Amino acid sequence: MCGVSSVSGDVERSDKAKQSTNWGDLKPRLLSAVVLIPIVAAAIFIGHLAVALLIAGVLVVAYHEWSLMTNAGKLSRFSYFTMGMLAVSAIAYPIVGFWISLGLFLATGVLTAVLTDGVGRWPTSGMAAGFLGFAGLCVLALRGQDDVGILATVYLTVVIWMTDSGAFFAGRLFGGKKLAPVLSPSKTWSGAIGGLVLGTLGGTIVWGFGTGSPLFIGILISAAISMSAQGGDLAESALKRHFVIKDSGDIIPGHGGILDRIDSFTVGAVLLYFIGVAHFTSDRVAEGVLWW
């Protein structure tokens, strides 16, 4: 009896320890959210230049993490050039406009490919710089310089953050079958469904209260953003698995690096940008997203 009791107690303690470890990053995640949400909200409401400065800083840190991740923890000789160009390209948008900013981002990607990747190699660094820059440009175009851009950017942010939160809590609470164990051993179908449900719900609420557009369109767009965001998260997980690292960095407690935080946001922003452009024009992206 004592032996059985001892074994039972050991199993119980093991389960409790496992559960404790499983939720160990909840507190730093919440504290990070307390810090990050006001910063992002302030930039969105202050204006286009504030968003551009925030995007510039994010792109610099993101490319820094990418360089370390793909170059065995070392920065290449041209990494600082690329980081500087990404920052300048973002800040240029509210000053000189979309097309010059786009040209600078494209030039950054091409020059990074030539200087960092060289001739005859797959231009991974150039493609990363180009994609990060274009995703930043999509956010800047969505924010624009008028009030409708505030609503569109808030809408995107709510869908992404609610998707991440839904996936986190549903995955931890319900567990179950792995979503894509080859790409990411920790992601589950329950987390993916929870993220989709909560992300779609959050976006639909913002859509319903903030626009006069048909609700079913808001549901469809919110669901599309949520799914694309989870695809971006999964893609970054696959990259980290390829390079045998857990997180892209440690700048954000509970989340890891900036790349870990924006993987969903970048893909969601690009999708929303193309929806806005397809419906209206590149000069009226926010209206193209929200007004139907």
If asked whether residues 123 and 242 sit together in one domain, one would say no
Higher pLDDT, residue 42 or 117: 42
If asked whether residues 122 and 264 sit together in one domain, one would say no
If asked whether residues 179 and 62 sit together in one domain, one would say no
| Domain termination residue (choose one: 102, 122, 144) | 144
User: What average pLDDT does this structure show over 44-51?
Assistant: 91
- Rounded to 10 deg, the angle between the 48-70 and 124-143 helix axes is 160
Domain that holds residue 196: 26-45+146-292
With respect to residue 191, please indicate whether it lies within any of the assigned structural domains.
yes
With respect to residue 18, please indicate whether it lies within any of the assigned structural domains.
no
Higher pLDDT, residue 29 or 119: 29
Mean residue pLDDT of the chain comes to 85
pLDDT (0 to 100) of residue 11: 37
pLDDT (0 to 100) of residue 247: 67
With respect to residue 4, please indicate whether it lies within any of the assigned structural domains.
no
pLDDT (0 to 100) of residue 255: 62
**Ordered DSSP codes for the chain:** -HHHHHHHHHHHHHHHHHHHHHTTTHHHHHHHHHHHHHHHHHHHHH-HHHHHHHHHHHHHHHHHHHHHHHTTT---TTHHHHHHHHHHHHHHHHHH-HHHHHHHHHHHHHHHIIIII-TTS--HHHHHHHHHHHHHHHHHHHHTTSHHHHHHHHHHHHHHHHHHHHHHHHHHHH--SEEETTTEEEEEHHHHHHHHHHHHHHHHHHHHHH--S-HHHHHHHHHHHHHHHHHHHHHHHHHHHHTT-S-S-SSBTTTBSHHHHHHHHHHHHHHHHHHHHHHS-TT-HHHHHH--
With respect to residue 77, please indicate whether it lies within any of the assigned structural domains.
yes
If asked whether residues 179 and 290 sit together in one domain, one would say yes
Q: 248 falls in which pLDDT band (50, 70, 90)?
A: confident
pLDDT (0 to 100) of residue 14: 40
pLDDT (0 to 100) of residue 180: 83
User: What average pLDDT does this structure show over 96-122?
Assistant: 87
pLDDT (0 to 100) of residue 257: 79
| Domain termination residue (choose one: 111, 144, 177) | 144
If asked whether residues 96 and 151 sit together in one domain, one would say no
Q: 250 falls in which pLDDT band (50, 70, 90)?
A: low
With respect to residue 8, please indicate whether it lies within any of the assigned structural domains.
no
pLDDT (0 to 100) of residue 29: 73
Read off the pLDDT of residues 58-84 as tens digits, 9 standing for 90 and up. Answer: 999 999 998 888 887 778 788 899 999
If asked whether residues 281 and 291 sit together in one domain, one would say yes
If asked whether residues 213 and 261 sit together in one domain, one would say yes
With respect to residue 158, please indicate whether it lies within any of the assigned structural domains.
yes
Q: 103 falls in which pLDDT band (50, 70, 90)?
A: very high
Read off the pLDDT of residues 186-228 as tens digits, 9 standing for 90 and up. Answer: 788 999 999 999 999 999 999 999 999 999 999 999 999 999 9
With respect to residue 11, please indicate whether it lies within any of the assigned structural domains.
no
If asked whether residues 53 and 135 sit together in one domain, one would say yes
If asked whether residues 127 and 165 sit together in one domain, one would say no
If asked whether residues 107 and 185 sit together in one domain, one would say no
If asked whether residues 103 and 184 sit together in one domain, one would say no
pLDDT at residue 173 greater than cutoff 60: yes
If asked whether residues 155 and 36 sit together in one domain, one would say yes
Q: For the chain, how many structural domains are there in total? A: 2
pLDDT (0 to 100) of residue 225: 96
Read off the pLDDT of residues 3-39 as tens digits, 9 standing for 90 and up. Answer: 444 434 443 444 443 443 466 667 777 777 788 889 9
| Domain termination residue (choose one: 144, 166, 194) | 144
With respect to residue 198, please indicate whether it lies within any of the assigned structural domains.
yes
User: What average pLDDT does this structure show over 139-152?
Assistant: 92
